Chain A
Amino acid sequence: MGFLDTLFGRTRTRSARVDALFRLSTAEPDLEDKLQVRYGGRLAVVLRDMEASRFAKVLQEARDILGRSSNDLPVTVAEATDNLHFHWLIVKGKDLTAALTGAHLVEQLAEEGGFSDALLAAIADFDQFCLVYSYRHGHFYPFCQTGPNRRDQSREIRVSAVLNPLLPMEPDPGQWYPLWDPPWDAPA
């Protein structure tokens, strides 16, 4: 936000930074090796709801393409809307790289539709914690939920320290926004 934007009260949104998400696939062996966690087979792209009717079309298209068996990706797709009306496109499948490819497809469709800034985060399940990728900053951060509205912050800090050399981690813990209760079990 520049001085002039503040002076004139202008609000701008940042386009999503999608480039770094794919690096998660190269970090997967290290996650298994150093943190003893496995990819839980679930990765979701979280999008803000937008009023435009074209937006619903984009979501539908993403679901269609990911759900089609001819797309060569060993994934299935589910969709959920959380209590804050954010859309979760959940890509399921054992293979992390395939899931990331699926997420990239969602990103591309959103960007082509002009809804790049509706992309909030991608979140990958690693059994004991989740890794969140913020599209605003292009950074990862760990999120370890232990109960309703409770998180294990010391664990998150340790995970972040281990992953720091491998992935672009969010340096400011104030930006480690929680995504409570991921709707992983949403029906396909």
Chain B
Amino acid sequence: MAKPRWYGRDAGLTFRMGLVMFLLAALYLAFVAVLLALRVPMTFLVLIIGGMLVAQFFFADRMVLAATGARVVTRQEAPELHQIVDRLCQMSDIPRPQVAIMDTDVPNAFATGRDPRHAVVTVTRGLMRRLDPDEVEAVLGHELSHVKNRDVAVMTIASFFATVASVLVQQFLWFGLWGGGMGGRRRGNGGNAAVLVWLVAIVVWALSYLLIRALSRYRELAADRGSAIITGQPSKLASALVKISQQVSRTADRDLRQTDAAAAFFIVPALRRDSLAALIATHPPLNVRLAQLERLSREMER
């Protein structure tokens, strides 16, 4: 018998993800076309924001670790955690990431790093304390799937022009001055163009924000699916998600604010700071995720 059917792709998810990425690309192209047509001097802007994103791309792992207070642990410090990661990497053929522990009681986990060779997978003490080992394994499978899917790179690229648009919106005042200054004799025209740029940027910003969030949610579902395939146990991830979401909603005080401070560090909202649990719009609602995992369980039994 060949491989079971459930290893097949999820055509629906692939299609939705493709559609969102296509819309985002189309939106960005239109945005650039408008900027070019209005002769907005954006070389400078693109260079600055590009530079910031590249810097974030290369240093995000260290910055996130520093901001969250997570610490990379050696094999001797956390043998069991390393053992779980070892097995997962061995099964899934993903290069072994570094493993870090964050000293908080809120059960959570996240993955950072620009590519699989520079990845750091972090779990909190609360996660290890409250979850069974095979639930921890399922959560790590989810994070490793993010690493394998290069979600940091994908989301950084996807956010590029959204960032440009948001800077344009927020710097409208500055642009107003530019409109006045550059307009010279045709002062009125320059001002109108600046307002137009501002309006276009607002629309692009709003639309791309929604699209990026949608993309983020689809990639979460893809990572859930990846975890189920790597570990062979969709129901373990399901029970881990239930436990985490219960705990996080109950104990969201200091620790969560701390992680939010980390998010503010970066200019891109959709930074791959995968808090499995923070049920904000970057993640699909719990019941959607559970339904997908249940479906996988059923397919496995066929």
Contacts and interface: CB of A to CB of B under 8 A. Distances in A.
A6 B149 contact: yes
Nearest to A47: B232
B92 interface: yes
B235 interface: yes
Contacts of A113: 1
Contacts of A114: 1-4
Contacts, number: 112
B96 A174 contact: yes
Contacts of A15: 3
A160 interface: no
Interface string B128-168: 00000110010000000100111100100000000000000
A177 B89 contact: yes
Given A1-B148, A51-B235, A13 B229 contact: yes
A9 B235 CA distance: 20
Contacts of A120: 87, 90-91
B65 to A, nearest CB: 22
15 contacts: A7-B21, A8-B17, A12-B7, A13-B91, A50-B300, A51-B233, A51-B235, A52-B4, A114-B2, A114-B3, A117-B91, A120-B90, A136-B90, A136-B93, A175-B90
Looking at chain A, what size class is its interface with the partner chain? 35 or more
B76 A149 contact: yes
Interface of B: 1-4, 7, 9-10, 13-14, 17-18, 21, 75-76, 79-80, 83-84, 86-87, 89-93, 95-96, 133-134, 137, 145, 148-151, 154, 218-219, 222-223, 225-226, 229-235, 297, 300-301
Given A9-B17, A9-B226, A113-B1, A84 B83 contact: yes
A48 B226 contact: no
Given A1-B148, A15-B3, A178-B86, A50 B233 contact: yes
Given A13-B7, A84-B83, A134 B90 contact: yes
A8 B89 CA distance: 20
Given A8-B222, A149-B79, 13 more contacts: A7-B154, A8-B9, A9-B222, A11-B145, A11-B225, A51-B235, A53-B301, A83-B133, A84-B134, A85-B134, A134-B90, A175-B90, A177-B90
